[in-house]
Homo-oligomer: A and B are copies of this chain.
């Protein structure tokens, strides 16, 4: 018994983004407070249904551009979820993405489907609708893997950062602690980052040197990957 071709063209596809940000207090996730059904008035991952005339990637980017006001956002696709009954309105597949954002650059601008948007500490995430909690767990584990293969951690930091900030970021993401001296040795050896000659000021302790990432080396490492044994 073979279906007619038209029987297959009845699904919807959505994107759902797991957006990571980093502050001194730790890793954060961006959630929106849903302003529309289903699951109105619940915190959820920012996402949207895809229009037939928009590419998958563009669709994921558009959601975040609207929401954060940022133009260039680092995004990677995660997994696609497609259980028959995962959405109450019909057959909806969702493609999940993760994004890394500099929190201080994002000006949150909840759009039509969201009444509010807010950063949640990674360990204080409420119950989310659909399979969003599952998506989030997957995203966390992927971020841990990918941050060791590519220097994507910079996407979470301001343009200029101290070595301590860099270490805190890695420690938050990987949920471990590193020895200060060994950490610096490895990072400086990898040639990720460049000393800008500038320093922190107005701090009540010895001011730290400010570094920026090394753009040429970044590209090479993004393309080739590496293995960061931290």
Using CB atoms and an 8 Å cutoff, list the residues of chain A in contact with chain B.
Answer: 2-3, 5, 7-13, 49-57, 59, 77, 79-84, 89-91, 93, 95, 112, 227, 229
A214 to chain B, nearest CB (A): 24
Interface of A, helix, strand, loop or mixed by DSSP? loop
Contacts of A50 in B (CB 8 A): 8, 11, 82
A35 to chain B, nearest CB (A): 13
**A52→B10 contact, CB < 8 A:** yes
Most buried by B among A3, A7, A56, A83: A56
Q: Tell me which of B51, B57, B84 contacts A7 (CB under 8 A).
A: B51
Q: List 5 A-B contacts (CB under 8 A).
A: A9-B91, A11-B52, A56-B93, A80-B95, A93-B95
User: For the complex, what is the distance from the CA of A190 to the CA of B51, rounded to whole Å?
Assistant: 49
User: For the complex, what is the distance from the CA of A13 to the CA of B12, rounded to whole Å?
Assistant: 9
Contacts of A11 in B (CB 8 A): 9, 11-13, 50, 52
Most buried by B among A11, A55, A83, A91: A11
